[in-house]
Chain A
Amino acid sequence: DAKTTQPPSMDCAEGRAANLPCNHSTISGNEYVYWYRQIHSQGPQYIIHGLKNNETNEMASLIITEDRKSSTLILPHATLRDTAVYYCIVRSRIKAAGNKLTFGGGTRVLVKP
């Protein structure tokens, strides 16, 4: 699986949008971009995923560049409960690849009042 690079940490003001970048320059055409977050002492929580088009759900928006080498997760109105470690992962769409995900260090996001 392709590797991802994320900034180790970032702060965000409550109520403002949080933009989390991720580089995945070696991503292949058979790989999706997935985002998870992990709040202390809990398991990772699925946020969103995409292949090449921008995606939006009730939690966040995912913007993927045209060359697919990077993406940005947008939390539109950050709250204190969004404080967590955010992981960007590339995941194969091939069924045989299964669920062997490679997690990097993620971005530790601190939302401040």
Chain B
Amino acid sequence: KAGVTQTPRYLIKTRGQQVTLSCSPISGHRSVSWYQQTPGQGLQFLFEYFSETQRNKGNFPGRFSGRQFSNSRSEMNVSTLELGDSALYLCASSLEGGAHNSPLHFGNGTRLTVT
């Protein structure tokens, strides 16, 4: 079974631009979550989508948004990029959320560098 796939693997953008990151969950998984990882703040939850609806949201500004498609694939968008948005963005999928038999499985992330 293929794991969580994130594209692109690396991305370099300029301040003020916007970026879209893509995530394909494990087949059959309906929940997709996004996390930001930086050296200073560690792993922080951005948002979660389940059946195309945002179910949970972390404490990030409105410049960070996402969506989920009917095939469970998800995209996240960051508008008006700032230097501080440079980070590893991780996508994770699970069958459902909060279920005891539904571990979260992570992709290897998209490394975003904002210059």
A7 nearest CB across to chain B (Å)? 16
Instruction: Tell me what chain B mostly uses at the interface: helix, strand, loop, or mixed.
Output: strand
Contact A93 B105 (CB under 8 A): no
Contact B104 A95 (CB under 8 A): no
A-chain residues with CB within 8 Å of residue B109 when the two chains form the complex: 42-43
Contact residues, B65-95 vs A (CB, 8 A)? 90, 92, 94
Instruction: Tell me what chain A mostly uses at the interface: helix, strand, loop, or mixed.
Output: loop
Contact residues, A54-113 vs B (CB, 8 A)? 87, 91-105
A-chain residues with CB within 8 Å of residue B96 when the two chains form the complex: 95
Contact residues, B40-62 vs A (CB, 8 A)? 42-45, 48, 50, 55-56, 58
Is B24 interfacial (CB-CB < 8 Å)?
no
Contact A100 B56 (CB under 8 A): yes
A-chain residues with CB within 8 Å of residue B33 when the two chains form the complex: 98-101
Flag the segment in A12-20, A21-29, A44-52 that touches B: A44-52
CB within 8 Å for A101 and B45 given contacts A91-B98, A93-B100, A94-B98: yes
Contact B98 A95 (CB under 8 A): yes
A-chain residues with CB within 8 Å of residue B2 when the two chains form the complex: none
* Cα–Cα distance between A70 and B42 once the two chains are bound (Å): 22
Contact A45 B98 (CB under 8 A): no
Q: Which residue of B lies closest to A32 (CB)?
A: B100
**Supplied contacts A32-B100, A42-B108, A98-B98, 18 more A-B pairs, CB within 8 Å:** A34-B103, A36-B106, A41-B108, A42-B109, A43-B106, A43-B109, A44-B106, A49-B100, A91-B98, A93-B99, A93-B100, A95-B97, A95-B98, A98-B33, A99-B97, A100-B48, A100-B56, A102-B45
Question: Which 3 A-B pairs have CB atoms at the shortest separation, nearest pair first?
Answer: A43-B106, A98-B97, A103-B43
- Can you list 12 A-B contacts (CB < 8 A)? A32-B100, A34-B103, A41-B108, A44-B92, A44-B106, A97-B97, A97-B98, A98-B31, A98-B97, A99-B48, A99-B97, A101-B33
